[in-house]
Structure 1
């Protein structure tokens, strides 16, 4: 099995012992992306929509570095701090994904890294 580490400067660097993404065969597994601006290292925005936008931009950039794209995502997992924000995240999410939409799970969590409001990870194909 050939494992390829995916790394790009267009998404936040890993802040621990993990990779931005790993490619195995035709599959790409991303780490969860949070709303960190890759150039400044700062959390973007205080509102869930602003944060979701940055998260999805980061995810898009990681996938593109792997030779994939948002149109090749087959599954996402969305972690949000408040399930009442679900519809606001969906508004932004719908700008990045078109039919056929990827499968998705969404869970409310008590805390995310850097106390952000949303984190998203994905599985895609090349």
Structure 2
């Protein structure tokens, strides 16, 4: 697996890497985790902001950016949150929009979480 690299999650108890790298492809999943490690459990706007900021930071740490995102999978526990998520999303992304899929789920990993995002992005060429 020398051609695949994993950047560990900051949480030592996590059973997921923060980012996986394969060549110039980056894959990461982010949740509404604040920089201090606490979960943001506010409304969809607060959770979306926190999640997309975490995504931005993870991508930059791995050598990419929001402008290099190819695909997003967005998991929402409340279908009515789609519009609120999109309001925040439009502050982080612009045309040409990444390919994306929105999936409604019954629950996410932590009680009170309303959003989780998985992204595939290209690394910035050296």
Instruction: Tell me whether the two structures share a fold, i.e. TM-score over 0.5.
Output: yes
Aligned to 1:5: 6
Deviation at 1:95, TM superposition (A): 0.4
- Give the Cα separation in 1 of the matches to 2:14 and 2:9: 16
From 71, 74, 78, the equivalent of 2:70 is 74
Q: Does 1:104 align with 2:100?
A: yes
What TM-score do you get using the length of structure 1 for normalisation? 0.89
- Give the Cα separation in 2 of the matches to 1:14 and 1:58: 17
What TM-score do you get using the length of structure 2 for normalisation? 0.89
- Give the Cα separation in 1 of the matches to 2:38 and 2:76: 19
How does 1:54-65 map onto structure 2 within 5 Å?
A: 54-65=50-61
Write the deviation string for residues 88-121 of structure 1: whole angstroms up to 9, x where unpaired.
1000001000111100000110001112010001
Aligned to 2:81: 85
Deviation at 1:33, TM superposition (A): 1.0
Is the contact made by 2:9 and 2:17 (CA closer than 8 Å) also made in structure 1? no
Deviation at 1:22, TM superposition (A): 0.6
From 104, 112, 122, the equivalent of 1:125 is 122
Q: Does 1:43 align with 2:39?
A: yes
Gaps of 5+ in 2: none
Structure 2 SS opposite 1:86: helix
Deviation at 1:45, TM superposition (A): 4.0
Structure 2 SS opposite 1:114: coil
How does 1:4-43 map onto structure 2 within 5 Å?
A: 4-7=5-8, 13=11, 15-30=13-28, 32-39=29-36, 41-43=37-39
- Give the Cα separation in 2 of the matches to 1:78 and 1:57: 14
